[in-house]
Chain A
Amino acid sequence: MHLEYTDKQKAFRAEIREWLAASVPDKPLKTYDTEEGFQQHREWEAVLHRGNWTMVTWPEELGGRGSDLVEWLIFEEEYYRAGAPKRVNMNGICLLGPTLMEYGSEAQKARILPKMASGEEIWAQAWSEPNAGSDMAAIRTRADRQGDKYVINGQKIWSTRAVWADWCFGIFRTDPESERHHGLTFILVPLDAPGITVRPIPQLDGLPGFAEIFFDDVEVPVENRLGDEGAGWSVAMATAGFERGLMLRAPARFQETARRLVELYQANRESADRDPAIRDAVIRAYLDAESYCLTTYQTACRLQQGGKIGPESSTNKIFWSELDQSMCATAMSILGARAELQPHAPAAAGVGTWLDDFLFAQSGPIYAGSNEIQRNIIAERMLGMPRK
């Protein structure tokens, strides 16, 4: 055990810090859940790409830096520290990208990854359906093979970023006789294909952060399939399972939230200390964010030495989502009567972005596999408790 950065890691940190200082826009971008903001964030992805910073863990020939997981953690620390814009193409670079690298053909990788890296093509997810949420194996949207194409009919929902994204990926039922997780196929679909209707769904903040996607005889060529026909479930589940869990939410994000919470508490100390529970919650926020960071470094180092990720990775999702929720709830308590006010309201002095953060934190325990599902996985696969 050696808990110090190497000279190479320090140099890497210095390089990204310097680049961010020179490159992060002075003025915050508009939210990517507006058309204008989406475009601004797409342009920011291109800026990152020109600096080879889109996804540092990707190989160099794809615009990455071949970084290991510790360098990725350092990148994220600097990124959040610098207050850089949110990443509009997370679905692509964190979810589909690694999946493609493992399951994609050379032709697919060559066609898709460069445009993903540059932000030219932004990706949305198409997993859930109205009757297949936590029970994702209940998927019914059909992709019928007709010669060298699939004809897709059905409906996907809760597709994050789908309103302005260019493509979506998901699993579809290619074998109409099949049940559950059999007979599903992983397919990539351009969102401008004829027969697609995207209906925006306003989120808690009123903005269309996700959408429903209707497929009405949508034709896609067979080469848009990722992995074998009928193997969609394992492509969706097994692929880079860990990197997903780990990379989706870097510790730096929550450590910066904890830092802002400490600052908010300090700035409002007199009123906040009327409730001793607030001080306690602030201390806990700091400690838990620190625990998340330490544990993630530990996992990253173990994996770098050839270790495998196991079902204990399900603890990750629960930990960060509930930490985020509790930090934001504490901020609301500190803000008191100001908590409900939009930042531009005249009486909303010092509210920062907490309201947005608080609203978004409510979704954490739900998306990417609800925390109830994660608890089942932990009990059954990590602790060995019976499924039935």
Chain B
Amino acid sequence: MDFTFSEDQLLFRESVRDFLVNEVSPERIRESWETETGRGESLWQQLAEMGLTGITVPEDFGGLGMSELDFVLLAQECGYVALPEPLVNTVMVAVPMLRELGGELARQWLPAIAAGEARVLVGLQQNLVVEDAHVADLLLLVREEGIYALLPGQFSLERNESVDPSRRLFSVTLAEGAKPLASGDAAAGIARAALNRGALACAAQALGLAQRMIDLSVAYTCERSQFGKTIGSFQAVKHHMADVAVKLEYAKAPVYRAAYQVTRNVAKASLAVSHAKLAACEAASLAAKNSIQVHGAMGYTWEVDLHIFMKKAWALANTWGDAACHKARVADVIFAAGAPVGADTTFA
């Protein structure tokens, strides 16, 4: 039993955090809002140079051959800066899906992802809209009849504007004559795994978002004075932040356990993933609620950076399976006969 990350994993996290905090400032995110695509080629190249786009690509295909567990701390850091680039979904959802689909598709696209030359995005049936489909060089789309692998031109897009200007969301229509690449049980299994990975990706980012909102709120309340003292010295304000810290502290281990199980293809990973998603998104939602409160009217403005993180947290809570979806998945397990509930069931 070892519930810790390795030195290497922790050091990698440190260097990625330093990079992201420097490169993905709130100013840069605001600039991206003004661009056509909201995405930047240069940042994607930088991420590729760090090996991040190919982290889960097998070494034979030019990647780092690492796992979802290796990536989970990095995904958290992507959340911390609200990275607009579709890195987390590429690494955690698209690459494993390509690995599972295999064949020529994997041989062609995995090296391109690792090299930073291609972005591959995924849309599941559970996704009302597809994130970043406009920059997809390949779109893996799950429909009832199977999984499609679509090149630009084989689908058309309609933009859905989000409250979060960083999120670029699209309704996808298949071009006529498109045929699924995989169908039947195999495709259904791949789609199920993809939902787990997408939900895990949300959960990991939510942890980072919650931490960022805590940091912003602590900084703000230690600066802002009322009644002759900084408002961060008032208990009512402190306790708002302490509540978030408690929720966040107890959401981390569930996310790491889920990453561990997803990496190992554990049969009951769905339960762990739903737990992780619920816990992490609740922490981030509470962080948003309490952060806007302690920011006062400033928190309700466009100018203060808080909303960059708050809006992403709100969105993640309801995408890749909303709370009802994930609670239902938990209920299916714990209310079944002979359910694994109680002491000595956690690691059994």
Contact = CB atoms under 8 A, between A and B. Distances in A.
Interface of A: 1-6, 9, 13, 70, 74, 76-78, 80-81, 251-252, 255-256, 258-259, 262, 265-266, 279-280, 283, 286-288, 290-295, 297-298, 300-302, 305, 307, 312, 315, 318-319, 372, 374-376, 378-380, 382-388
A288 B256 CA distance: 15
B279 A287 contact: yes
Contacts of B235: 372, 375-376
A280 B327 CA distance: 8
Contacts of B343: 76-78, 80-81, 251-252, 255-256, 259
Contact of A385 (B233, B254, B260): B233
In the A-B complex, the 4 residue pairs with the closest CB atoms: A259-B342, A379-B238, A294-B253, A252-B343
A283 B327 contact: yes
Interface stretch (B30-38, B98-106, B242-250): B242-250
Given A9-B1, A77-B344, A312-B249, A383 B218 contact: yes
B275 interface: yes
Contacts of B256: 1, 298
B245 A286 contact: no
B345 interface: yes
A287 B334 CA distance: 10
A293 B237 CA distance: 29
Interface stretch (B2-10, B167-175, B300-308): B2-10
B275 A290 contact: yes
Interface of B: 1-6, 69, 214, 218, 221-222, 229-230, 232-233, 235, 237-239, 241-243, 245-246, 249-254, 256-257, 260, 275, 278-279, 327, 330-331, 334-335, 339, 341-347
A299 B279 CA distance: 18
15 contacts: A2-B1, A6-B1, A78-B343, A252-B343, A262-B334, A286-B334, A291-B254, A291-B275, A292-B250, A295-B253, A375-B238, A383-B214, A385-B222, A385-B238, A386-B230
Contact of B257 (A3, A255, A286): A3
Dominant secondary structure of chain A at its interface with chain B: helix
A290 to B, nearest CB: 6
A385 B232 contact: yes
A81 B340 CA distance: 13
Given A287-B279, A378-B245, A383-B245, A295 B339 contact: no
B339 A262 contact: yes
A334 to B, nearest CB: 14
A153 B334 CA distance: 55
Given A2-B1, A70-B1, A77-B344, A375 B243 contact: yes
Contact of B233 (A3, A77, A81, A386): A386
A294 B254 contact: yes
B334 A283 contact: yes
Contacts of B249: 295, 312, 315, 319
Contacts of A382: 245
A287 B278 contact: yes
Contacts of A1: 2-6, 69, 256, 260
A291 B245 contact: no
B233 A283 contact: no
Contacts of B245: 312, 315, 378-379, 382-383
B253 A315 contact: no
A375 B69 CA distance: 32
B339 A305 contact: no
B2, B5, B278, B343 interface centre (most CB from chain A within 10 Å): B343
A168 to B, nearest CB: 32
A301 B257 CA distance: 14
